[in-house]
Structure formats: structure tokens, C-alpha cells
Amino acid sequence: MRIPGTALVTGPTSGIGEAFARLLAERGHDLVLVARDKDRLAALAKSLSSAHGVSVEVLPADLSNREQLSIVEQRLLDRGQPIAVLVNNAGFGVKARFTRADISDEQRMLDVLVMAVMRLSHAAAVSMGERGQGAIVNVSSVASWLTGSTYSAAKAWVTVFSEGLAGEVAPLGVSVTAVCPGYVRTEFHERAEMNMGSVPGWMWLDADRVARKAMRDVDHGKVLSVTGGQYKVMGALLRHSPRALVRRIGNAR
């Protein structure tokens, strides 16, 4: 069932987030777009409003900054301008292995991938629960079933958190879906200065495909959304393989 109303999307200026923003605008949702880059936000808002005739509000914020994160929380709690769909998509990647990384970068990654998801999901769940309707979409990753240091651990938290929250808020009329894509052609790896040349072509997904599959699963109340047969098989194998084997795979990089 499609849920009408305004959708708030974090990290919408490229990749999966932009695909979600465009798809939601096509579906007729007014939007609230949250990201750090004011200029890209403004350009995207103008484009979506012009193309689809929807109202687009821009909310510049760095989700690793607690004060700015609080502003987004308050927007989700605004009873006068309710949010019907929350898409927690903002990403953060660190190229170096944990022991070689700047610990402040590791902390910011957790702030964006865990702390922000938790606090925004809480605000949305409270507000949506009061109205008896809403959908929370948390973009996780197939990496949540691997052992890849902080990033995988953060995504594992997102997946398990989403599954737990889904059971809690379902009686209130609110759905929660964890989206678990594999490799997606976006700016994410480039921004993190990651060399992805060794990844075979069959493993790459299109961001629009991920967003479309995710929203179909949201419409059907599914808690986990995995795009692509290759990743459905991979995810099943990882979840049922001996942990020693999973650790070997996770450390093979």
C-alpha cells in the first residue's frame, strides 16, 4: 500500500538517495531534502519541482553534527507539517583499514550511519505512530552480513535495528524496511577514493533499480529489500555460512 504525504530523504544529491528523491517525486510526494551541499540541494529541488510539480523543501545539514541533526529531528516531529516517508540514506565511507584510519573519520562514519539513523528513525516512529501511518526506509548494505570493520558493523546495526523496529511499530501502522544493496554505481566509492576496478561488471547495480525495488517492497510491507538475484543468493549464503568462512571473506581485501 502506498502511503501518501511528504517524504524526507537524507543524502539525496547523488546515487541511491537521488534515485529515491526522483522516484518519490514521480509518485507525487512533496519532499524535504537533507544534505550538506546547499548548492546541489537547491539545484535538485528546482529540477524535481519543475519536472513533477511537487513542493520541495531543502534542509542543509551535516548529520555528523549533533546540533544540525537535531534540526532534522525537529522537522520530523513537526505535527503541523507531517512526514509520511523517511528515507535514511546518507552515506559515509573510509578507505583505510581500521588500524590505519583517522579515528575521527571512523567516529564521523558511526555518527552518520548509526547515530543519525537511530535518532531520525526514533523521531519518525514517534510522529508516524501518533498518526497511525508512515514508512521508514533505512539504506543498509549486503556488507551488513560481512565482517568489514566499522562500515560493515555499522550496516549490520542498521539491518538488525530496522528488523527490530519493524516489529515494534507495525501495530501502530508504521512500516520499516532495510534496503540491502550490493555494489551500486554512484559517487560513493569515488568520494572515498576507493579503487573499484577489480569488481566484476555483473556485481554492479543501477541506483534507480535499487530505489524502485525498495519502494515496491515498502508498498508490500517487506522488512528486508535486496535487489538482484546475485545479491539474494549472496545474502542467503552469508547469513547461513560458518562465521569463520564469513570472516575470511570479509578480510580478503
Instruction: Count Cβ neighbours within 10 Å for each residue of 22-36 and write b for 16 or more, e otherwise.
Output: bbbbebebbbbbbbb
List, by residue number, the catalytic residues.
151
Run of H or E residues at 24: helix 15-26
pLDDT of residue 201: 66
Q: Tell me the whole-structure pTM to 2 decimals.
A: 0.88
The DSSP letter of residue 193 is T
For residues 107 and 116, the answer to whether their CB atoms sit within 8 Å is no
pLDDT at 136: 98
Residue 131: is it exposed, middle or buried by C-beta count within 10 angstroms (0-12/13-18/19+)?
A: middle
At 149 the pLDDT is 84
What is the model's pLDDT at position 3?
87
Domains and CATH numbers, the chain: 6-251 (3.40.50.720)
Q: Report the greatest alpha carbon distance in the chain.
A: 53
In the chain (253 residues long), the average pLDDT of successive 10-residue segments reads 92 96 98 96 97 97 98 97 98 82 93 98 98 97 84 95 98 97 67 53 80 97 88 72 67 61
Question: Which pLDDT belongs to residue 133?
Answer: 97
